[in-house]
């Protein structure tokens, strides 16, 4: 298995492919979006991508967990029923699966996105049980327990 440097200053210069925003999500302007997948986990449940977009306003609906790190430009993010937040280069924000937000790109934004498919609820419960069992095994028997 090899390790590859996938972003840093070079992330500003990567060639990106067209990644159009759903036409029904666009609210104003003609935002042009591009993207590129940088890496994928072995099981395919997580990946890293770079994405950029020109000026425009649109809604975005998240079907997966996404952590965004803005590397260039800025965007005003407005979650439903909440106040707008300006997210500038160097800032990050988390969007859980099932959430949505209004994006207002005034000029340009480029981000690195860390994306993850959440496990189905039943699998999350099983994973929680597994984690608790591992912690109990590591801790060993309770010294206060009568034998």
> Residue 125 — left, alpha, or beta (φ > 0 → left; ψ -120 to 50 → alpha)?
alpha
Query: Number of C-alpha atoms within 13 angstroms, CB side, residue 4?
Result: 8
Assess whether pLDDT exceeds 90 at residue 90. yes
Q: Is the residue at 147 inside a domain?
A: no
> Which structural domain, as residue segments, surrounds residue 28?
9-119
Q: List, in order, residues 6 or more apart from 57 with CB less than 8 Å away.
A: 26, 27, 28, 29, 31, 102, 103, 104, 105
The pTM of the full predicted model, rounded to 2 decimals, is: 0.75
Minimum mean pLDDT range among 28-42, 91-105, 116-130 = 116-130
Q: Is the residue at 138 inside a domain?
A: no
Q: Is the residue at 128 inside a domain?
A: no
Assess whether pLDDT exceeds 90 at residue 94. yes
Assess whether pLDDT exceeds 80 at residue 140. no
Q: Is the residue at 145 inside a domain?
A: no
Mean pLDDT of 24-30: 97
Minimum mean pLDDT range among 57-61, 80-84, 113-117, 125-129 = 125-129
Q: Is the residue at 97 inside a domain?
A: yes
Tell me, what CATH number does 62's domain have?
2.60.120.10
- Mean pLDDT, the chain, whole residue set: 86
- Measured in degrees and rounded to the nearest 5, phi and psi for residue 130 equal -60, -45
Domain count, the chain: 1
Mean pLDDT of 122-139: 74
Q: Is the residue at 66 inside a domain?
A: yes
Assess whether pLDDT exceeds 60 at residue 36. yes
Banded pLDDT at 9 (limits 50, 70, 90): low
Q: Is the residue at 130 inside a domain?
A: no
Q: Is the residue at 42 inside a domain?
A: yes
């Amino acid at each position: 298995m090899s390790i590859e440097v996938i972003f840093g200053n070079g992330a500003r210069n990567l060639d990106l492919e067209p990644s159009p925003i759903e036409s029904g999500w666009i609210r104003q302007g003609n935002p042009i979006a591009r993207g590129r997948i940088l890496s994928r986990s072995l099981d395919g449940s997580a990946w890293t991508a770079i994405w950029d977009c020109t000026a425009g306003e649109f809604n975005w609906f998240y079907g997966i967990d996404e952590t965004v790190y803005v590397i260039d430009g800025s965007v005003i993010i407005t979650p439903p029923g909440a106040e707008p937040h300006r997210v500038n280069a160097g800032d990050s924000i988390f969007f859980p699966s099932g959430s949505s937000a209004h994006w207002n790109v005034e000029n340009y934004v480029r981000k690195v996105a860390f994306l993850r498919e959440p496990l189905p609820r039943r699998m999350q419960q099983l994973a929680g049980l597994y984690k608790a069992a591992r912690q109990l095994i590591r801790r060993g028997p309770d010294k206060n327990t009568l034998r």
